Structure 1
Amino acid sequence: MKITAIETIRVAEFGNLLWVHVHTDEGVIGLGETFYGAGAVEAHIHDTLAGRLLGRDPLRIEALNRDMVNLPLAQASTGVEYRAASAIDFALWDIFGKVCNQPVHQMLGGLAHDRLRLYNTCAGYKYVRSMSIKPVSTWGLGEAEGPYEDLDAFMNRSDELAESLLDEGITAMKIWPFDPAGIETGGNFISAEQMKTAIQPFEKIRRAVGDKMEIMVEFHSLWNLPTAKKIARALEPYAPTWYEDPIRMNSPQALAEYARSTDVWVCASETLGSRYAYQDYLNVDAAHVVMVDLCWTGGLTEGRKIAAQADTYHRPFAPHDCTGPVAFAAAIHCSFSQPNTLIQESVRAFYRGWYTELVTNLPRIEGGYAYPMEGAGLCLELKPEVFKRDDVTLRRSTL
């Protein structure tokens, strides 16, 4: 079997998403996806990676992955090179599964769980859907498209939101009410008034549902270390499950100091690329929960190695997902195959909303749990309607 063509697909409405089709001479086509900077990733795929991949056996996944990331500027990053490699890596695993007529989780070693507990990242329908992905850029942006405008809800009606999630069997949620203050002050300090405002959603949740709901706190790397520690202490009475990316993820020593300052778990990090970066953080006890975004860190090939690496340090694995539907499916396959998976991120406004416009299938989600996908490969395809849209752009490199 040989790779005969690599095709990229972009849709203007979802400007940060890039899909990849890897074509073979036996008619098997693999689907991949990555997120953010789609134009730059597209250029790298066609201008650099196509020359390394065309004509080669798509089932030699490890070798191809190594060749894609073995570049001078692609070491332990989440830059263009790794995002491009991730998209193609997904497609290679999709081909592998299709050739063997098995789902990707089986190709990764089989099911380690019968079902996966989910937490809901409380984004809304427009979150990450435009070219802007700033964490607060879509608050109050027009009328809600449906019942799951959870971004606005966690800031203004977090008690009602928690009750709504519990009604669906979802017992964990992630929110980021400190972001407006962090953006306003540059993360250098937080005033007493800002602190009080940001803590209000936690107070409402605990009053409404007590400890029935776990709360993960996303900080989007906005804070300096002293202020992050101050916020951590202020939140401890509300028993958060974890603090995610409180500071910029470029100093293992600083994050280790932060981790020592609080009893709450530290989760790191969707912004790290490759197992080499994670090694630095694990070696200094900076992270309790290892989070990885599979479409930024080298795909399933690297993601499963990071999961195993975390297990070596007795750390749980919790894949990030707040991007596109193919990456969500890939994360579900990976999570099911790894024995140390703690919980899987999901966004109900996405999997009940715009994901359904783009792909033929999604994981079955019931009662706060995801169940294994059935079929071959990643078990989903882009809908034919995607290719008929007026705003679709295709680019193709051929053997």
Structure 2
Amino acid sequence: MKITALRTYRVEEFANVLWIHVETDAGITGLGETFYGAEAVEAHIHNTLAVRLVGQDPLNIELLHKEMVSLPNAQASTGVEYRAASAVDIALWDLFGKVCGQPVHTMLGGQSWDRMRTYNTCAGTRYVRTNKIRPVDTWNLDAAPSPYEDLDGFMNRAGELAEDLLENGISSMKIWPFDPAGIENKGQFITTEQMKTAVKPFELIRKAVGDKMDIMVEMHSLWNLPTAMEIARTLEQFNPRWFEDPIRMNSPQALAEFARSTHVWTCASETLGSRFAYKEYLDRDAAHVVMADLCWTGGLTEGRKIAAMADTYHRPFAPHDCIGPVGFIAAIHMSFSQPNTLIQESVRAFYKGWYRELVTEVPRIEGGYIYPMEGPGLGTELVPQFFERSDLTVRVSEAA
């Protein structure tokens, strides 16, 4: 079997998502995805990777992965090169599963879990539905009302939101009320009044539901180290589950200092690329929970190595999701296959909303748990009407 073409798709409405089909002479096609800078990733796939991939055996996944991430400037980052490699790699695993008639999690070694606990990242239905990627700009708080405007919920009625999540079996939530202050002050300081405003959702959650809800604190790498430590000290009274990406993920030593300053777990990081970057943080005891985004860090091939390496340090693994539906589903396959998976991120505003506009199947999520996908490969495809969209751009590289 040989790869005959790479075909990419992007649409204006979801400007940061790029999908790819890896086509073969056996008539089997693999589906992949990445997120952010879609047009730049598209160019790298067609201008740089296609000549290296078309004509190759798609089942030599490790070989092709090494080829993609060994190029100049594609070393331990989440830049264009790694995002492109991630999309292709996910598609190759989808194709592998289809060839064998098995779900991807089976191809990765089988199920370690019958069901997987999930937490709700409290985004809204139109969060990141824009070409901007700035934490506050993309909140879209003026969007049309829907039952799952959870970002507006945690900012304005956090207690009610926590009660609603619990009623639906979801006992973990992630919020980021410090972002407005971080953006306004460029992460250099936080005023007393800003601190009080950002702490209010935590007070309301604990007042409404007590300790029944785990609270993950997303800090979006916005803060300098002293201010991040100040925020952590203030929030310890609310017993959050973890602090995620409190500072820029470019200094293992600084993050280790943060981790030592608080009894709350430190989670890092969706922004890291390749297992080599993670090793630096693990060697420094800088991360208690290892988070990876498979659309950025090298796909399933690299993701399982990161999870396995975390296990050697006795650290749990927690895949990221605040991206597109294919990446979400790939992360779920990874979660089920790894014995040290702690929990899987999900956004109910996405899997109950715009994900369903794009793919044929979404995972079954009930009572705060995700259940494994059952079809071969990833178990989902782009919906037929996707290919009829007026805002669709298609680019193809195929054998001469």
- Residue in structure 1 matched with residue 376 of structure 2 by the alignment: 376
Report SS of the residue matched to 2:236.
Answer: helix
The equivalent residue for 1:229 is 229
Structure-2 residue corresponding to 1:173: 173
Tell me by how many angstroms 1:140 deviates.
Answer: 5.4
- Please report the TM-score for the alignment, with normalisation by the length of structure 2: 0.99
Question: Which residue number in structure 1 is paired with residue 24 of structure 2?
Answer: 24
Given that 2:127 and 2:140 are in contact with CA atoms closer than 8 Å, whether structure 1 keeps it comes out as no
Residue type matched to 1:204 in 2?
L
- CA distance change for structure 1 residues 223 and 397 in 2, over 3 Å: closer, same or farther? same
Letter of the structure 2 residue corresponding to residue 88 of structure 1: V
Question: Corresponding residue for 1:47?
Answer: 47
User: What's the CA shift string for 1:259-317, capped at 9, x where partnerless?
Assistant: 00000000000000000000000001000000000000000000000000000000000
How far has the Cα of 1:137 moved from its partner? Answer: 1.7
Partner of 2:357: 357
Alignment partner of 1:208 is 2:173: no
Residue 138 of structure 1 deviates from its aligned partner by 3.8
C-alpha deviation, 1:139, in angstroms: 3.8
1:81 pairs with 2:81: yes
Say whether residues 1:152 and 2:158 are aligned partners. no
| Equivalences for residues 233-312 of structure 1 within 5 A | 233-312=233-312
Q: Is the 8 A contact 2:273 2:298 kept in 1?
A: yes
Please give the per-residue CA displacement for 1:55-96, whole angstroms capped at 9, x wherever unaligned. Answer: 000000000000001012011000000000000001000010
| Contact 1:267/1:291 (8 A) holds in 2 | yes
SS of equivalent to 1:377: coil
Structure 2 distance, partners of 1:300, 1:46, is 21
CA separation in 2, counterparts of 1:277 and 1:123? 28
Counterpart of 1:322 in structure 2 is 322
Pairwise CA distance, 1:146: 1.6
Question: Matched residues in 2 for 1:56 and 1:145: separation?
Answer: 48
1: CA distance between counterparts of 2:24 and 2:120?
37
- How far is the alpha carbon of 1:105 from its aligned partner? 0.2
- C-alpha distance in structure 1 between counterparts of 2:275 and 2:124, whole Å: 31
User: For the Cα contact (< 8 Å) 1:33–1:326, is it kept in 2?
Assistant: yes
Contiguous gaps of at least 5 residues in structure 2: none
Q: Which whole-Å CA distance do the structure 2 matches of 1:144 and 1:106 have between them?
A: 40
Is the Cα–Cα contact under 8 Å of residues 6 and 22 in structure 1 kept in the other structure?
yes
Which residue of the partner structure matches residue 33 of structure 1? 33
The AA in structure 2 aligned to 1:96 is F
Distance 1:132 1:115 in 2: 35
Q: Determine if the alignment matches structure 1 residue 91 to structure 2 residue 122.
A: no
Q: Deviations over 1:361-385 (max 9, x none)?
A: 0111000000010110000000010
Which amino acid is the alignment partner of residue 23 of structure 2?
H
**Paired residues of 1:10 and 1:394 also in contact (CA < 8 A):** yes
**Which deviations, in whole Å up to 9, do the C-alpha atoms of 1:155-190 show, x marking residues without a partner?**
000001001100110000000000000111111111
Partner residue, 2:67:
67
Report the secondary structure of 1:287's partner residue: coil
Q: Number of residues paired by the alignment?
A: 399
- Name the residue aligned to 1:182: 182
Shift of 1:202: 0.1
Give the structure 1 partner of residue 194 of structure 2: 194
CA separation in 2, counterparts of 1:273 and 1:142? Answer: 34
Q: 3-state SS of the aligned residue for 2:30?
A: strand
Cα deviation for residue 133 of structure 1 reads 2.2
- Report deviation, 1:129: 1.3
CA contact under 8 A between 1:316 and 1:340: conserved in structure 2?
yes
Given residue 318 of structure 1, which amino acid in structure 2 is its aligned partner?
A
Letter in 2 for 1:59: L
Partner AA of 2:258 in structure 1: Y
3-state DSSP of counterpart to 2:13 = helix
Q: CA deviation at 1:349?
A: 0.2
The residue correspondences of 1:111-130 to structure 2 (distance < 5 A) are 111-130=111-130
8 Å CA contact retained: 1:125, 1:145:
no
Aligned-residue sequence identity (percent) comes to: 74
Residue ranges of structure 1 left out of the alignment (5+ in a row): none
Whether the aligned pair in 1 keeps the contact of 2:359 and 2:383 (CA below 8 Å) is yes
CA distance, structure 1, for counterparts of residue 138 and residue 164 of structure 2: 21
Shift of 1:145: 4.4
- Partner secondary structure for residue 13 of structure 1: coil
In the alignment, the residues of structure 1 paired with residue 37 and residue 98 of structure 2 have an alpha-carbon distance, to the nearest angstrom, of 29
Report the 3-state secondary structure (helix = DSSP H, G, I; strand = E; otherwise coil) of the residue aligned with 1:98: helix
For residue 385 of structure 1, what is the aligned residue in structure 2?
Answer: 385
| 1:166 maps to amino acid | L
**Structure 2 vs 1, CA of residues 54 and 138 (structure 1 numbering), >3 Å: closer, same or farther?**
closer
TM-score by length of 1: 0.99
Q: By how many angstroms is 1:142 displaced?
A: 2.5
Are residues 49 and 201 of structure 1, via their aligned partners in 2, closer, same or farther at CA, if it must alter by over 3 Å?
same
CA shift digits 1:191-250 (9 cap, x unpaired): 110100000000000000000000000000000001110110000000000000000000
